[in-house]
Amino acid sequence: MLRYTVKRLLQLAVALLGLTLLLFAWFKALPGGPENRMLPDNATDQQREALRQALGLDEPIWSQYGEFLSRLVHLDFGSSLSSGRPVATELADRLPATIELSLAAMVIAIGIGIPLGYLAARKRGSWLDFGAVSGSLVGICIPVFFLAAMLKVVFAQELAWLPTAFRLSPGLDYTEVTGLRVLDGIITGELDVAWDAFLHLVLPAIALASIPLAVITRITRASVLEVVGEDYVRTADAKGLKPQTIRGRHVMKNAMLPVVTVIGLLLGSLFSGAVLTESVFAFGGVGSFIYQATTERDYPALMGFILIIAVFYVVLNLIVDLSYGFLDPRVRVRS
Amino acid sequence: MALLEVEDLRVAFGGATAVDGVDFHVDQGQVVGLVGESGCGKSVTSLAVMGLLPRRGVTVTGKARFEGVDLLSLPRSDMRRRRGSDLAMVFQDPLSSLNPVVKIGTQITEVLERHRGLRGDAAVKEAEQLLDRVGIPDPRRRLGEYPHQLSGGMRQRVLIAIAVACAPRLLIADEPTTALDVTIQAQILELLKDLVDSEGTALLMITHDLGVVAGLCDEVNVLYSGRVVESAPARRLFAEPTHPYTVGLLNSIPRLDLPIHEPLKPIRGSIADVIRWKDGCAFAPRCDRVTEECVEGEPPLIGTAHAHRCVMAEEVA
């Protein structure tokens, strides 16, 4: 297992290096370099050249890449062209909101999806199964922004059960620890803050969870259906084991393999959904920031964002691979 | 009293009848064969006795009395307590019958824990002894390994170890050697024989291989189309096969003492060519000796120690 872990870590390093190369090449290839964005339209060629020199754009390409790498290592993505503040600071301010939202959505999706998928499989053909299957079809089909808007209209505006926007009610005193506000409220003992932040989180998290929940339910159901027909489950039954032992050790451990893979992939795609959901609920995550950066050709901001998302994605996949190795001994290949 | 007495066992999957009134019995310490070709209902019979058939879409009727208690009418939780402890089963394919993601050790100790209350070190020690008993070298190391790290023969030994872990009084083996090499087959059969001999365990051997029957069984039941067509002590069955189906099975075995170009003598037709037992002999469409009498109602079981279900048997013999 240790060997496997080390091997995967090395692969991760290679993947990240390749990623930086790709990013660098991509930004170099983009038309209309940053100097055109930073200078007014009537700037002279001389002024442009001066800025190119100041930005190091006249250096040989490999030394630009070296410079690029060394800055990335120091988390220096430059300053945002729109706000003038360092990109790292901008992202650091906004990422916790997105992370909190994504985590909440994933907790919902996994916490409901796996048990629901299991029950649907075991009660195959029942109303529960029918409901789970058709419900997940709806969940996959509804666009996230539409569901978010509908939830907001019904539960926040019409019924007024839950807040319509933002992460906290105005006027609440809040002490930041991790930036995940529900967690912070619990840590600092400000339970009113935790509860308020939780209420603000409910609707966006449900909206964002819809697709992963549907996918996890379906995959779990299909996987459990396949596994319960396996010979080793019959063997477990022939041993006279208790139903809960058969369920946990023999059915679920095998059935979780494809589910874990899918969860890893879903976590990555969750971010794009988060951008849309955040904008509906004015949640203040990276979503609106990135939207703005894209329209304004704010390269440093985009670069920082893409890099962080990519690292996030690669690390997630590592975790998925490692848990796969943990779940399935056949994966721990001995080289 | 018989250890296991199966009486008029019938199993239907929806409209399709797989087992159509099977009767046989297994005495204490006896090795009994259940023989027949694919689809004759021998595996379904064993699964029905073990209570391992799915509940939905399957109807099981008849009796399977184990030490006088009808297993088929036991509540599920009672049956679960008996499975793996009073009666246990070894399956056909040792690779797919072991859980690929659970260590061999756990797959053995879980049954010790469940039925014998052994835990922790005591369970591990016992598992080690079991592996040793079924002839697996270096058992301590094997306990920590996974099924894919073992050879086919070893996996079947593990399954046998699991089956005998709680000293069952009846062991059902469903084609335990079919998925194995010929050389390994002999070893596994030898092992099964040793285990049941030394412990006085009764063995119900399900097979299509008459060689296995000849080498192992005391009594043989030949199944055709979900019903016993002939049952006899093994020696007598081979000496005087009576039902044309048994005769056909014996004739279709390749023999070393016949000229090399002599064609094999298969039974013509397939098991799909049947009539229902209540209308006559199910084997009639494939039988060389078929007469009008064969399809005039249900053929009775004739005889006791050596019984058969052929109305024309006198002429055949």
Q: Are B41 and B18 in contact (CB under 8 A)?
A: yes
Task: Please indicate whether, in this complex, the C-beta atoms of A329 and B101 are within 8 angstroms of each other.
Answer: yes
Of A44 and A132, which is predicted with more confidence? A132
Give residue-wise pLDDT tens across range A193-216.
Answer: 788 888 888 899 999 999 999 999
* CA–CA dist A178, A182 (Å, integer): 10
Q: What is the pLDDT of residue A216?
A: 95
Q: Are residues B3 and B61 in the same domain?
A: yes
> Which two three-digit tokens encode residue B138?
């270096």
Q: Which of B4, B2, B30 is nearest to B193 (CA)?
A: B30
User: Which residue shows structure tokens 């909440």?
Assistant: A104
Do A203 and A152 touch, CB atoms closer than 8 A? Answer: yes
Last residue of a domain, one of B113, B143, B165: B165
Cross-chain Cβ contact B97/A254 below 8 Å: no
Q: What is the reported pLDDT for A33?
A: 66
A117, A132 Cβ separation under 8 angstroms: yes
- Tell me whether residue B55 is in a domain: yes
When pLDDT is cut at 50, 70 and 90, the band that residue B49 belongs to is: very high
Which of B66, B65, B57 is CA-nearest to residue B87? B66
CB A57 within 8 A of CB A33: yes
**Helices A87-122 and A127-141, packing angle to 10 deg:** 150
Q: Is the pLDDT of residue A233 over 90?
A: yes
CB atoms A232 and B97 under 8 Å: yes
In a domain, residue B279? The reply is no
Q: Are residues B210 and B118 part of one domain?
A: no
Q: Is the pLDDT of residue A317 over 60?
A: yes
- pLDDT tier for residue B44 given thresholds of 50, 70 and 90: very high
pLDDT over 80 (residue B69) = yes
pLDDT at position A37 is 67
Identify any residues that bridge with B69 across adjacent strands, giving them in sequence order: B66
3-state SS assignment for residue B264: coil
pLDDT at A215: 94
Q: Which pLDDT value is given to residue B135?
A: 87
Give how many domains chain B has, as a whole number: 2
Residues A170, A124, single domain; the answer is yes
* B173 neighbors B47 (Cβ within 8 angstroms): no
B294, part of any domain: no
Q: pLDDT tens digits, residue range A71-103?
A: 888 888 878 877 888 888 888 888 888 888 888
- Three-state DSSP string of B39-106: CCCHHHHHHHHHCCCCCCCEEEEEEEEECCEEHHHCCHHHHHHHECCCEEEECCCCCCCCCCCCCHHH
| Chain A: closest CA distance from residue B163 (Å) | 8
Q: Which DSSP letter does residue A32 get?
A: S
Q: Which residue of A has its CA nearest to B171?
A: A238
* Contact across the interface for B101 and A242, Cβ inside 8 Å: no
Percent of chain A's residues with pLDDT above 70: 97
Q: Which pLDDT does position A304 carry in this prediction?
A: 85
The Cα of A234 is separated from the nearest Cα of chain B by a number of Å equal to: 7
Give per-residue pLDDT as tens, A139-172: 888 888 888 888 888 888 888 788 877 777 777 7
Contacts of A231 in chain B (CB under 8 A): 91, 93, 96-97
CB B162 to CB A239 under 8 A?
Answer: yes
Alpha-carbon distance of B147 to B133, in angstroms, equals 18
Task: Categorize the per-residue pLDDT at B202 as very low, low, confident or very high, splitting at 50, 70 and 90.
Answer: very high
Q: Confidence class of residue B125 from pLDDT cuts 50, 70 and 90?
A: very high
- Section B126-131 average pLDDT: 92
- In contact, B201 and B171? CB cutoff 8 Å: yes
- For residues A144 and A277, is the Cβ–Cβ distance under 8 A? yes
User: A11, A39, A73: which is the final residue of a domain?
Assistant: A73
Write down the pTM of the prediction: 0.81
Asked whether residue A289 falls in the same domain as residue A164, the answer is yes
* Surface-to-core class of residue A30, CB atoms within 10 Å of its CB (0-12 exposed, 13-18 middle, 19+ buried): exposed
Kindly report, residue by residue over A13-31, the tens digit of the pLDDT: 888 888 888 888 877 777 6
- More confident: A175 or B147: B147
With contact defined as beta carbons under 8 Å apart, do B22 and B228 qualify? yes
Under a CB-based contact definition with an 8 Å cutoff, are residues B127 and B141 in contact? no
Whether A296 is in a domain gets the answer yes
Domain holding A47, by residue range, is 2-73
> Do B52 and A238 lie within an 8 Å CB cutoff?
yes
Contact B148 A242 (CB under 8 A): no
Mean pLDDT for chain B overall: 88
Instruction: Give the structural domain span for B8.
Output: 1-86+168-265
Q: CATH no. for residue B174?
A: 3.40.50.300
The span from the CA of A121 to the CA of A136, in Å, is 14
> What would the mean pLDDT of A45-53 be, rounded to a whole number?
80
Together in a domain, B67 and B182: yes
The residue from B240, B265, B290 where one domain ends is B265
Q: Which of B81, B89, B146 comes nearest A238 by C-beta?
A: B89
Tell me which residues of chain A have a C-beta less than 8 Å from any C-beta of chain B.
230-232, 234-243, 245, 249-250, 253-254, 257, 327-330
What percent of chain B has a predicted confidence (pLDDT) above 90?
46
Give the model's confidence band at B316: pLDDT under 50 very low, under 70 low, under 90 confident, else very high. Answer: very low
- Rounded to a whole number of angstroms, the distance from the CA of A230 to the nearest CA of chain B is 7
- Does B298 fall in a domain? no
Q: Give the ipTM.
A: 0.88
B residues 75..94 contacting A (CB < 8 A): 79-85, 88-89, 91, 93
On whether any CB of chain A is under 8 Å from the CB of B113, the answer is no
Assess whether A65 and A112 both reside in one domain: no
CB contact under 8 A, B114 and A236: no
pLDDT at A328: 82
**Contact between residue B206 and residue B42 where contact means Cβ atoms under 8 Å apart:** yes
Q: Which residue of B has its CA nearest to A125?
A: B56
Q: How near does any CA of chain A get to the CA of B186, in Å?
A: 23
Sequence-ordered alpha helix ranges (H) in A123-241:
127-141, 144-151, 181-188, 191-228, 231-238
- pLDDT reading at A173 higher than 80: no
Q: Are residues A230 and A297 in the same domain?
A: yes
Q: Measured between CB atoms, which of B81, B96, B98 is closest to A240?
A: B81
Q: What's the gap in Å between the CA of A323 and the closest CA on chain B?
A: 13
pLDDT classification of B47: cutoffs 50, 70, 90: very high
Question: Hey, what are A90's tokens?
Answer: 């901008």
| Torsion angle of C-alpha atoms A109, A111, A114, A116, degrees rounded to 10 | -90
Between A241, A328, A330, which is nearest B110 by CB? Answer: A241
How far apart (Å, rounded) are the C-alpha atoms in residues A280 and A150?
A: 10
**Closest by Cα among A131, A109, A133, A144 to A216:** A109
